[in-house]
């Protein structure tokens, strides 16, 4: 007789979001339900000669006492987010069965703008240094794992945590992601002419680019059902376009492949997806590619939203923050609207949410794509 080994179920134990609109998941979700956005017009000559739209923290945030001053803004964001998530679970960082996973695209890259070039700066700017400092702060006994794969970093970190627990190496994974916006980061996107001078408009006919944002998010995963918040990670997958270093696929086939693999791993059909939390950057090519991928996967009728109009693009934190908000949506039976969307501007039919409405969804799909052609898709489900 053939014995089929079932995969260990992975549950979400607790979570947190630290953003310009709130310091907890509950605060953030309340703001979103009230259509409050963190994206604002900024006049900051130290970051850009031109005014720019972004979701930024107020000056002086996360440096309120002497202990916090030993860490950078990036590290303080991670510590603040992880601290809150840990208070809502009995997962122990000092347990050998607990692993810390950190996702970021830029980390402390802003130090290049303020510090003299040196060997010590090279070490301080390393993601490994930040990860070790954060791990030591919470007394994690295992060496932290770093995920930095463009804009799918947050989702890939969650997927990595899921797979590490399923491998039997760990029972819990603390998955945290953060990024801060600096002149270095902003000018890079401006050089691509990818930054909109107005609040971004995902999937809209008038979309013309992204707004950037900063923030942090933490998801604590566990194989212990008793620690669950009522939602589990059902499955996920990644793929790559192999198309262009900064331009996405023109067909959407590769993201569709990741979506289909995620559905297969979850054991559910496309018709079972209650809503899609899309990457939805509001650039011409990303939204078009995502629309094609959604259609190829048979999901053109599923409600779709993008949260970029509220948070901007938070880079390595985006996949985690947007997954947490969607987990909360699943728990509260709500689908949030896509702020900035008015008229469809993609070639394929996509059911973009334009208003808040009730839902009885049992599953949602989260997607992301990034530079280098990377794609990720994950399914989350009510237990």
Do the two domains 10-226 and 234-382 of this chain adopt the same fold? yes
- pLDDT-derived band of residue 64, with 50, 70 and 90 as boundaries? low
Give the mean pLDDT of 326-344: 98
Which neighbouring-strand residues pair with 222? Answer: 11, 172
Give pLDDT tens digits for 150-159: 999 999 999 9
Give the mean pLDDT of 46-74: 84
- pLDDT-derived band of residue 60, with 50, 70 and 90 as boundaries? low
pLDDT of residue 106: 96
pLDDT of residue 3: 38
Average pLDDT, the chain: 95
Give pLDDT tens digits for 174-217: 999 999 999 999 999 999 899 999 999 999 999 999 999 999 99
CATH code linked to domain 10-226: 3.40.47.10
pLDDT > 70 fraction of the chain, expressed in percent and rounded: 96
pLDDT of residue 1: 40
pLDDT of residue 59: 77
Give pLDDT tens digits for 90-120: 999 999 999 999 999 999 999 999 999 999 9
pLDDT of residue 6: 62
Give the mean pLDDT of 298-314: 98
Cα(379)–Cα(115) distance, integer angstroms: 42
Give pLDDT tens digits for 214-271: 999 999 999 999 999 999 999 999 999 998 888 899 999 999 999 999 999 999 999 9
pLDDT of residue 67: 66
Contact 171, 98 (CB under 8 A): yes
Cα(78)–Cα(81) distance, integer angstroms: 5
pLDDT of residue 246: 85
The domain locations on the chain are 10-226, 234-382
pLDDT of residue 337: 98
Is the pLDDT reported for residue 161 higher than 80? yes
Tokens of 257: 């492949």
pLDDT of residue 4: 38
pLDDT of residue 66: 59
Give the mean pLDDT of 10-22: 98
Which neighbouring-strand residues pair with 179? Answer: 215
- Spelled out in words, what is the top-level CATH class assigned to the domain 234-382? alpha beta
């Amino acid at each position: 007789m053939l014995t089929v080994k079932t995969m260990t179920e992975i549950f979400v134990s607790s979570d947190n979001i630290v953003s310009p609109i709130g310091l907890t998941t509950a605060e953030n979700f309340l703001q979103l339900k009230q259509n409050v956005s963190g994206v604002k017009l900024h006049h900051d000559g130290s970051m850009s000669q031109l005014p720019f739209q972004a979701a930024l923290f107020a000056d002086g945030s996360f440096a309120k006492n002497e202990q916090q001053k030993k860490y950078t803004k990036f590290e303080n964001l991670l510590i603040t987010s992880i601290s809150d998530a840990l208070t809502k679970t009995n997962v122990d960082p000092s347990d050998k069965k607990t692993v810390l996973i950190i996702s970021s695209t830029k980390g402390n890259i802003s130090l290049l703008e303020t510090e003299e070039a040196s060997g010590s700066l090279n070490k301080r700017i390393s993601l490994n240094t930040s990860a070790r400092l954060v791990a030591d702060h919470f007394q994690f006994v295992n060496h932290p794992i770093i995920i930095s794969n463009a804009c799918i970093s947050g989702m890939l970190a969650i997927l990595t945590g899921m797979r590490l627990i399923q491998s039997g190496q760990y029972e819990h994974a603390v998955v945290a992601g953060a990024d801060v916006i600096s002149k270095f980061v902003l000018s890079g996107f401006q050089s691509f002419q990818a930054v909109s001078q107005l609040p971004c408009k995902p999937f809209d006919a008038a979309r013309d680019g992204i707004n950037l944002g900063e923030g942090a998010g933490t998801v604590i995963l566990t194989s212990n059902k008793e620690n669950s918040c009522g939602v589990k990670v059902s499955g996920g997958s990644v793929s790559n376009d192999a198309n262009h270093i900064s331009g996405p696929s023109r067909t959407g086939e590769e993201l569709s492949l990741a979506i289909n693999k995620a559905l297969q791993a979850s054991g559910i059909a496309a018709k079972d997806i209650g809503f899609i939390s899309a990457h939805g950057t509001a650039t011409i090519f990303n939204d078009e590619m995502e629309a094609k991928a959604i259609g190829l996967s048979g999901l053109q009728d599923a409600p779709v939203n993008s949260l970029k109009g509220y948070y901007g693009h938070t880079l390595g934190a985006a996949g985690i923050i947007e997954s947490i908000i969607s987990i909360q949506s699943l728990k509260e039976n709500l689908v949030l609207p896509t702020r900035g969307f008015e008229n469809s501007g993609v070639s394929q039919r996509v059911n973009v949410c334009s208003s808040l409405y009730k839902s009885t969804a049992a599953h949602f799909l989260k997607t992301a794509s990034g530079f280098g052609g990377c794609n990720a898709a994950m399914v989350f489900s009510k237990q």
